Copies of this chain bind each other. A is one copy, B any other.
Amino acid sequence: MQKIPYKIYLEESEMPKYWYNVRADMKNKPAPLLNPGTLKPMTAQELSGVFCEELVQQELDNETQQIEIPEEIREYYKMFRPSPLMRAYNLEKKLGTPAKIYYKFEGNNTSGSHKLNSAIAQAYYAKKQGLKGVTTETGAGQWGTALSMACSYFGLDCKVFMVKVSYEQKPFRREVMRTYGASVTPSPSDTTNVGRKMLEEFPGTTGSLGCAISEAVEVAVGTEGYRYVLGSVLNQVLLHQSVIGVETKTALDKFGIKPDIIIGCAGGGSNLGGLIAPFMGEKLRGEADYRIIAVEPASCPSLTRGKYVYDFCDTGMVCPLAKMYTLGNGFIPAPNHAGGLRYHGMSSVLSQLFDDGMMEARSVEQTQVFAAAEQFARTEGILPAPESAHAICAAVDEAMKCKETGEEKTIVFGLTGTGYFDMVAYEKYHNGEMSDYIPSDDDLAQGFATIPDIKL
């Protein structure tokens, strides 16, 4: 039998020409975004005040199974895609497992993660609409970097609100964004109403993703020729990220490989939703079965401990309501939480699929995550982002179960990015200064208290 190479690369000609829209195959469609005033589904017109028009179409389209990737975007994809599907031969050997482990490595671009897949799409549609620029928020900085790169390519202005704690702890991320011409403002800032209000109420606050979103939306809505863009959670983002899954499936099919388990880390759901898309499609259509596992931090456990209800997407409550697994829009992970995956909610698509029993979820603690990250780095060479290491953790667990049972399962996980900008967290881990934190039920109750009481 042909030996599977370490890296399966597709030819440019094999690259996806369509994004796959999993919503088309869902019997239970994800719940629509609601207008917080009327509690009615947001219309295209209402959404287009905030988002670009074609993106609004994609957001609302629950029917079209394949959506063509415009040629301009495919051309840009060619600069960093296809990403390699790697066979983790060395990790398998190290673990002594009969399992076959593959990972789709999305970190080989300057944004350091998969975020560029959607950033370039969103920038493209903004440019096509004749906009001057876009606003967004960034936490760990991967999304902001990706968007800066995309905007620079299309000559768009890019205003990034960066969660203050990250802005201060990750000055290098900020400088990368500046290299691509973006302006970066720490959030909360005094440049918006939401920000000023937050600073007044909580003078010492280090910010949150929910607050940065509110600021970015406020600026987009209030500035001629600008729209807001978001790097996760939304249907449109999962659609763009399906390029990960479609490439993965094409690569596996080339070698006749059928995975048993597919694993991804989950914050807002962009990577997981993208990686699993075509596999989930087969599962929804009854053509194949896969175990699909979402892995989230124990300190921000939206799927495993959240409520499946309507909640605001942002802290400032300027955004529409989304039905999702949520910890409450006021939830902020404990200060010891390192890295991303800190959003209070979860993509509506994934929330619905999880509620329908189509996938599993588990949470892991961060010292365990960094131990897995370090082991992975030493055996496979690549220094993973802490977010990605959540998936590594679960993949190793599953591979070790195979070692016990002797099963030769095929495991595929998403290695979303690299950890070059996360060395403060790695340093804490090396120095034994990293702690775990599992929120108590009382802690969670405080977050849940910020969920609006919606009667539909």
Binding site for B on A (CB under 8 A): 5-7, 9, 11-12, 76, 78-80, 86, 90, 108-110, 112, 149, 152-153, 171-172, 175-176, 178-181, 374, 377-383, 418, 420-421, 423-424, 426-427, 430
For A426, give the chain B residue with the smallest CB separation.
B175
Q: Which of A78, A149, A179 has the most CB of B within 10 A?
A: A179
B residues less than 8 Å from A379 (CB atoms): 153
B420 and A420 contact, CB distance less than 8 A: yes
Given contact pairs A76-B381, A153-B379, A420-B420, a sample of 9 additional A-B residue pairs in the complex whose CB atoms are under 8 Å apart: A6-B12, A80-B381, A110-B418, A171-B423, A172-B172, A172-B420, A176-B426, A179-B377, A179-B383
Assuming A175-B427, A426-B175, is B381 touching A6 (CB within 8 A)? Answer: no
B426 and A179 contact, CB distance less than 8 A: yes
B residues less than 8 Å from A172 (CB atoms): 172, 420-421, 423-424
B residues less than 8 Å from A86 (CB atoms): 79
For A112, give the chain B residue with the smallest CB separation.
B420
Describe A's contact surface by its main secondary structure.
helix
Please give the distance in Å from A276's CB to the nearest CB on chain B. Answer: 25
CA distance A430 to B180 in the complex (A): 11
A176 and B378 contact, CB distance less than 8 A: no
B residues less than 8 Å from A112 (CB atoms): 420
B423 and A378 contact, CB distance less than 8 A: no
Contact of A149 among B9, B181, B381 (CB under 8 A): B381
A178 and B110 contact, CB distance less than 8 A: no
Please give the distance in Å from A373's CB to the nearest CB on chain B. Answer: 8
For A111, give the chain B residue with the smallest CB separation.
B381
Q: Which of A5, A12, A79, A109 has the most CB of B within 10 A?
A: A79
For A373, give the chain B residue with the smallest CB separation.
B179
B7 and A110 contact, CB distance less than 8 A: no
A176 and B110 contact, CB distance less than 8 A: no
A175 and B79 contact, CB distance less than 8 A: no
For A370, give the chain B residue with the smallest CB separation.
B179
Assuming A79-B380, A172-B420, A378-B153, is B430 touching A178 (CB within 8 A)? Answer: yes
A78 and B110 contact, CB distance less than 8 A: no
14 contacts between A and B (CB under 8 A): A6-B12, A9-B9, A110-B383, A110-B418, A112-B420, A149-B377, A152-B378, A172-B172, A172-B420, A175-B423, A175-B426, A179-B374, A179-B426, A420-B420
Assuming A78-B7, A175-B426, A427-B175, is B153 touching A110 (CB within 8 A)? Answer: no
Please give the distance in Å from A262's CB to the nearest CB on chain B. Answer: 22
CA distance A149 to B377 in the complex (A): 8
CA distance A80 to B107 in the complex (A): 13
A110 and B381 contact, CB distance less than 8 A: yes
B418 and A179 contact, CB distance less than 8 A: no
Please give the distance in Å from A393's CB to the nearest CB on chain B. Answer: 16
Please give the distance in Å from A155's CB to the nearest CB on chain B. Answer: 10
CA distance A161 to B30 in the complex (A): 56
B residues less than 8 Å from A171 (CB atoms): 423, 427
CA distance A9 to B12 in the complex (A): 10
A176 and B423 contact, CB distance less than 8 A: yes
A180 and B110 contact, CB distance less than 8 A: no
B residues less than 8 Å from A78 (CB atoms): 5-7
CA distance A383 to B109 in the complex (A): 9
A181 and B418 contact, CB distance less than 8 A: no
B residues less than 8 Å from A79 (CB atoms): 6-7, 86, 90, 380-381
B378 and A180 contact, CB distance less than 8 A: yes
CA distance A374 to B427 in the complex (A): 30
For A8, give the chain B residue with the smallest CB separation.
B12
A-B complex: 7 closest residue pairs judged by Cβ atoms? A172-B423, A175-B423, A6-B78, A152-B378, A110-B383, A420-B420, A5-B12
Please give the distance in Å from A96's CB to the nearest CB on chain B. Answer: 16
CA distance A418 to B108 in the complex (A): 11
B residues less than 8 Å from A420 (CB atoms): 112, 172, 176, 420-421
A381 and B426 contact, CB distance less than 8 A: no
B residues less than 8 Å from A152 (CB atoms): 377-378
Please give the distance in Å from A116's CB to the nearest CB on chain B. Answer: 8
CA distance A112 to B108 in the complex (A): 11
B residues less than 8 Å from A5 (CB atoms): 11-12, 78
Contact of A179 among B175, B178, B179, B430 (CB under 8 A): B430
